[in-house]
Amino acid sequence: MLKNIPSVISPELMSTLMRMGHGDEIVLADGNFPAESCAHRLVRADGHGVVELLDAIMRFFPLDWFVDHPASVMQPVNESAIDPPIWTEYRRVLAHHEGREVELRPIERFRFYDFAKSAYAIVATGETAIYANLILKKGVVIGHEN
């Protein structure tokens, strides 16, 4: 065990996050998402929700500041539907860790699947909220001079 690593982050997930490079994307998929059939690399996080994983991941994961949309969500099929409540939680967690508001870009369902198929990895969670799928684009860690 290591100190200060949230227990929801498995060794496999930490390894995946560390192996990702600038511009790589990771999908945090809800329990209904076809993760097995879409993933090049699949990380299981059964029993965990996306919000708790997002909060843990964002302690280590820099979002890409060089793109307009470093965070994307699956748009509800009914485009006139209100934003799913879980999106409010995503915005709160992302703003907390990034020190700025992060816009969530809605992506049509089948286009979202295409994005997910090209992602570096998909994390399959036990999330039961609808439209809880989230794609994050990794940014860079800027070194500090001593």
64 flagged as catalytic: yes
- Per the prediction, the chain carries an average pLDDT of 95
Per-state percent for the chain, helix, strand, coil, to nearest 5: 30, 20, 50
Instruction: Tell me the per-residue pLDDT of 47-82, one tens digit each, with 9 for 90 and over.
Output: 999 999 999 999 999 999 999 999 999 999 987 889
| pTM of the shown model | 0.94
Interior CA angle at 47 toward 41 and 51, to 5°? 80
Point out the catalytic residue in the list 22, 40, 96, 114. Answer: 22
Point out the catalytic residue in the list 48, 64, 90, 97. Answer: 64
Which residue segments constitute the domains of the chain, with CATH numbers given?
Answer: 11-137 (3.40.1650.10)
Burial class (CB in 10 A: 0-12, 13-18, 19+), 78: exposed
**What's the mean pLDDT in 26-46?**
97
